[in-house]
Amino acid sequence: MFSVIILAAGASLRMGGVNKQLSEIGGVPVFIMSALKFDKSEKTAEIIIAAPEEYCEKYRELAEKLGVKKLKCVVCGGKTRFESVKNALKHAGNEYIAVHDGARPLIDTSDIERVFADAEKFGAAIAACRAVDTVKIVDENGIIVRTPPRENLWYAQTPQAFRRDLFEKGAEKIGENEVTDDASVLEICGERVKITEIYSCNMKITRPDDLAAARAVFESREVK
């Protein structure tokens, strides 16, 4: 079974002062929609939400009111993503953990289940989609150095799911160093991480235009 951590503690700096987690899609706050997708999974034992300190009580009330049945608690997030994960991990009580961006509310529960299955099989797995753009590697002056083969490139997303002991071992090893995603914690320690291809739209809401796009995708779906 999985302890699911929903990260909703960011400052929403690129949203023009709007708290994206409280913005609504189909009448539901973004982070709640994310949590509800995991609530439907039979492999989710508990949900822990990391929130800004000033919003902890509000987020808890919303989660309870809007039907997040597997909510265990809402914890204060840290100054960084990794700090928020570690704060939430203290409350996790299962063999496996999964971390998901609260700002990715469109993930399908069927895709979540496939990530969970791969994590159980390989010890670690992350949601990802194939790169559709050509990626350029540049030097410090912005001059192109190399173009890596696109067939080997994937865009990392969430959820990212791991056996808890593997993640804790990696977190202890890297100490206070910051990572941009949770899989990096295991990669640094030489652990294998499986890519699970995601078929649903799993975009991350970062800017106001993203919110408009996410609402359009949601409205176009036959199954909400």
| SS (HEC) of 50-83 | EECHHHHHHHHHHHHHCCCCCEEEEEECCCCHHH
DSSP 134-151: PP-EE-TTS-EEE---GG
Digit-coded pLDDT (tens) for 6-43: 999 976 656 666 788 999 999 999 999 999 999 999 99
Q: What is the pLDDT of residue 181?
A: 87
Neighbours of 130 (CB within 10 A): 13
How many domains, the chain?
A: 1
Rounded to the nearest integer, the mean pLDDT of the chain is 92
Going by C-beta distance under 8 Å and a sequence separation of 6 or more, which residues neighbour residue 173? 188, 189
- On whether the CB atoms of residues 164 and 174 are closer than 8 A, the answer is no
Q: How far is CA 206 from CA 10, 12, 65, 124, 203, in A?
A: 10, 7, 26, 26, 9
Query: What's the one-letter identity of residue 216?
Result: A
Name the pTM for this structure: 0.94
CATH value at residue 114: 3.90.550.10
Distance CA 194, CA 190 (A): 13
Supply the range of the domain harboring residue 147. Answer: 2-220
∠ Cα 52 58 61 (to 5°): 135
Q: What is the pLDDT of residue 50?
A: 97
Digit-coded pLDDT (tens) for 139-192: 999 999 999 998 899 999 999 999 999 999 888 887 777 777 899 999 888 889
Distance CA 196, CA 193 (A): 10
Q: What is the pLDDT of residue 11?
A: 66
Distance CA 181, CA 215 (A): 25
- On whether the CB atoms of residues 106 and 35 are closer than 8 A, the answer is no
Going by C-beta distance under 8 Å and a sequence separation of 6 or more, which residues neighbour residue 128? 154, 155, 156, 157, 195, 196, 197, 198
Q: What is the pLDDT of residue 98?
A: 98
Distance CA 25, CA 167 (A): 32
Q: Token digits for 76?
A: 């204060």
Q: Sheet holding 2-7: strands in order across?
A: 71-76, 44-51, 2-7, 96-101, 154-163, 124-130, 194-197
Q: What is the pLDDT of residue 87?
A: 94
Neighbours of 220 (CB within 10 A): 8
**96, pLDDT greater than 80:** yes
Q: What is the pLDDT of residue 14?
A: 64
